[in-house]
Amino acid sequence: MADNDLKNNNVKKSGPTKGVKRNNIKKYKQNNKKQESIFKKSKLKIIPLGGLHEIGKNITVFEYEDEIIIVDCGLSFPEDDMLGVDLVIPDITYLEKNKEKIKGLLITHGHEDHIGAIPYFLKQINVPIYATKLTIGLINNKLEEHKLQRGTKMHEVKQGEKVKLGKFTVEFIRSSHSIPDSVMLAITTPAGTILHTGDFKVDYTPIDGKRMDFGRIAELGKKGILALMSDSTNAERKGFTMSESSVGDVFDKLFLHCTKRIVVATFASNVHRVQQIVNCAVKYNRKIAVCGRSMINMINTAKEIGYIDCPDNLFIDIDMINNYPDENLVLITTGSQGEPMSALTRMAAGDHRKVKITSNDLIIISATPIPGNEKYVSKVIDDLMQIGAEVVYSSLEAIHVSGHACQEEQKLIFALARPKYFIPVHGEYRQLRAHSETAQSMGVKKENIIIMSNGRVLEINDEGAEFTGSVQSGRILVDGLGVGDVGNIVLRDRQHLSQDGLIVIVLTMDSVTGSVIAGPEVISRGFVYVRESENLMDDVKSVARNEIRKCEQRGIRDWGTIKSVTRETLRDYIFMKTKRNPMIIPIIMEV
């Protein structure tokens, strides 16, 4: 009867029939779950190799199954203790091991901390590059300098376009920053969509009139954003970042009625700032000359592709400045951070070959010092003022605005994007932490906020996010033409030499008997001046001679042992006499 009841829907189902049907449904659900688990989508791996717990060196790897895309490839500048180092670039060992998986390198904008390491990257891994017009132009300049122009596929992408790279679809969304053609990246994968903001600020009155595409961010937020990765540089600052156009009003006030030659120092990459200087120069009938290689390259590139709007005859060669009266001249220069070899620093020191600063100069430093550069900027300002020049800087006038979003702008992005997970990027730990607190105030659950560090592997999809390991990461030091040949040991030696100096002990020994034939002679560099410390040098020679004699009496003939014993004895003696610890290098020559 029960079997017939199951076959006939019109028969009232009761008693044992109910239990049979429930069991069948339960089995069906269990089988269905097994099938779902078989076809479950993979998780997306997010692996930052730079840019976290630091400023600069931004590079992030996105890996889905057997495919990889990379966002940005920047450098950072050496810290004070990195003596002699020119640049710091990210360690890309993980990418070298997986280069066959890489589909492309995508760039958010053209600042050094996002494109500076590309030439070094391409020397190891040749991949296609996707970026906007100005960013492509700046990358090409770098590749030409490194003689890498051929063989690299450069794909120019317009704001609003999408790029399909295997299982990744990447949309370039118009953003605002201190350089034109900046974009956010919406990275869509089977695991979900990641919105990577790059560097940004919310500027409602941008110089080029191209506002951030708030509508598209809101559309993506409505569809569902799995994770937001957002710029944390100004996460500790409350309120809003001022519009770039506000600087133009200050320039106009300074140019008005000024009869002096005007010298403006700013970041070479700030094309919008240069455009405002151009506008004032045209308005007040001044010609513009440019100093500094990076500034010249940037302005030439921006003019070629139409990102600086100016009359044809506005710019003149720096050699022509003596042909114009001071009231008809503007100089745009690098050196707003007081860099030792920059044009403005050389002008302040009187070492610039083309420009001599006088009391008839108005110097405008249109930047704020990056943390760590304050003393360099102060020194340049002091030197310029001692010459007699008038100097205007950020403490006196609102002559600079940041290119990064403050807390209220960050809140706007949260409101539009409505992400499930939040990953603060581009900042030191305190900035990542501050951005996390802003995220919580906007309704992001605390357990869904993930502070990452370089090299950690995060696996994420709609079902969850977890750290699953780490990969090799770190910093590679560039010193001249050497890449990676300067490490911690070399830096430690340089610091030792810079702090305590060097003593070299040279002597000649008989290879058969082990007796000293000549020496020891003492050479000192950076420790004491030999002529003024003859007694100390004589004592050092005597100690070295006695130690070598002891070795000879003990029958020690191994040069390594003799050097080691001599070095340790001299180190103890010199420290006792001077409370200094110079590097000691014994050199033994045998005959």
Catalytic residues, by residue number, are 231, 404
Which residue from 105, 177, 91 is spatially nearest to 143, judged by alpha carbons? 105
Spatial CB neighbours of 424, under 8 Å, sequence gap ≥ 6: 229, 230, 232, 235, 431, 432, 435, 436, 439, 449, 451
Phi, psi of 84 (to 5 degrees): 85, -10
Are the C-beta atoms of residues 178 and 273 closer than 8 Å to each other?
A: yes
Are the C-beta atoms of residues 254 and 397 closer than 8 Å to each other?
A: yes
Distance of CA 415 to the CA centre of its chain: 28
Are the C-beta atoms of residues 573 and 543 closer than 8 Å to each other?
A: yes
Which residue from 523, 543, 542 is spatially nearest to 587, judged by alpha carbons? 523
Query: Look-up: residue for tokens 């029960």?
Result: 2
Are the C-beta atoms of residues 83 and 495 closer than 8 Å to each other?
A: yes
Quick one: CA dihedral 300, 305, 308, 311, positive or negative? positive
Helix (H/G/I), strand (E/B), else coil: 505: strand
Are the C-beta atoms of residues 43 and 191 closer than 8 Å to each other?
A: yes
Distances 446 to 192, 396, 422, 438, 440 between C-alpha atoms, Å: 20, 41, 9, 11, 6
Helix (H/G/I), strand (E/B), else coil: 99: helix
Distance of CA 549 to the CA centre of its chain: 55
Encoding tokens for residue 60?
A: 């992030």
Encoding tokens for residue 66?
A: 């057997």
Q: DSSP state, 326? A: G
